[in-house]
Amino acid sequence: STVLPQFTPTPLGGFPLIHMSHSAQIFDHLDNKVLLAWFQVEHPKFVVRVFDCTGRDVSEKAAILAERIRANIAVVANFIHQGAQPVRVSPPQPQGGKDVKELPLSFLVHNISLEARDLIVSQRIWSTSDITFEARPFSCYRPPDLLFCITGFTTSDTDVITKTVADVWAYEDNRAQINDILSMSEIPEEKVHVAMWDLIRSIHVERLDFKIAGGLPVPRFNIFAHSPTCDAKAWTELRSFLHILEYPTGLDGCGAAVALTPCPICHSIAHPRGLCPFPSVPQWNSPKT
């Protein structure tokens, strides 16, 4: 990792991950003409999302944010090549004009060298005292592993939850439904059965130490699994189906999915603001909690 003192250094084990709601989320709510223009810009290019900024902030302060992003990326670009070409940052514009409810968050960075782009995207998180942003490759990604969050259990043991989720997915009727959904994807018919078991075996659970009013702990659990399909439509159907199921246990209550809301600090859908891991990264610059 680079040693540029104004940026928070990459912590041991890397920066926390930021979970997306679907594979093309970085392009959400972007005006179609702008999206087309972004696709037509030559590589190297990448996309950034600014921490602690709502779509409204991005819309109202687009020029200021673009300039802050540009100035910080120029520091990195000039660190790699003295006198690097001037970096360009293009702000988003919302589909349907400024008064729509859903506003885009991503900025496009272009006119940059391959080395500078690769360094910035590989470190991912760039935090200074005046702005922090996440850099992502300009592409659609694999479907996210985070599927949903469940609550309603009286245990905080993730092993119990993992087994419960696996048992529910492996129940005969549910297995048949998963098979049906996967057979509409790019997976060859004869491999669908194996893909379904791979999905079940890949389940991974993380506990969120949620507290309700009065500080009473009511754990929530994020459910992750590795999608066997890259087909966005099949993945969306699969997630919707698994999301509506109930997750009963013998002794520890019955779990049901709750809505995932993005963290206002880092935009990850995996936790609320109070549980954001970024402010506790060593030498973190901004935003604080």
Residues 193-216: tens digit of each pLDDT: 999 999 999 999 999 988 777 888
Q: Is residue 59 part of a domain?
A: yes
Domain for residue 17, yes or no?
no
- Answer yes or no: is 288 within a domain: no
Residues 95, 193, single domain; the answer is no
Question: In the predicted model, is pLDDT for residue 218 greater than 90?
Answer: no
Identify whether residues 225 and 129 lie together within a single domain: no
Residue 72: give the domain boundaries: 25-139+265-280
Query: Is 19 contained in some domain?
Result: no
Q: What is the pLDDT of residue 121?
A: 96
The verdict on residue 125 lying in a domain is yes
204 and 151 assigned to the same domain:
yes
Q: Do 54 and 125 sit in the same domain of this protein? A: yes
Sequence length of the chain is 289
* Per-residue model confidence (pLDDT) at position 216: 83
Q: Find how far residue 231's CA is from the centre of its chain.
A: 18
Check pLDDT > 60 for residue 1.
Answer: no
| Mean pLDDT within 164-171 | 98
The reported pLDDT for the residue numbered 116 is 95
Give yes or no: residues 58 and 198 share one domain.
no
Residue 259's pLDDT band, with cuts at 50, 70 and 90, is: confident
Per-residue pLDDT at 289 exceeds 70: no
Q: Does the pTM of the predicted model rise above 0.75? A: yes
Same domain, 218 and 269: no
Q: Average pLDDT in the 149-160 region?
A: 95
The Cα 69–Cα 66 span in angstroms is 5
Torsions phi, psi for 209 (to 5 deg):
-80, 70
Task: Provide the Cα torsion 107, 110, 115, 120; round to 10°.
Answer: -10
In a domain, 135, yes or no: yes
- The reply to whether 103 and 206 lie within a common domain is no
pLDDT (average), residues 138-164: 93
Q: Is the same domain home to 176 and 129? A: no
Total domains in the fold of the chain:
2
3 within a domain of the structure (yes/no): no
Distances from the Cα of 152 to the Cα of 20, 161, 252, angstroms: 24, 11, 9
CA angle 23, 27, 33 (to 5 degrees): 145
Residue 233 inside a domain? The answer is yes
* pLDDT band at residue 114 using 50, 70 and 90 as cut-offs: very high
Same domain, 133 and 217: no
**pLDDT, tens digit (0-9, with 9 covering 90-100), for 82-108:** 887 899 999 999 988 778 888 999 999
Is 41 in the same domain as 129?
yes
What crossing angle do the helices spanning 62-80 and 114-123 adopt, rounded to 10°?
A: 110
Q: Are residues 99 and 171 in the same domain?
A: no
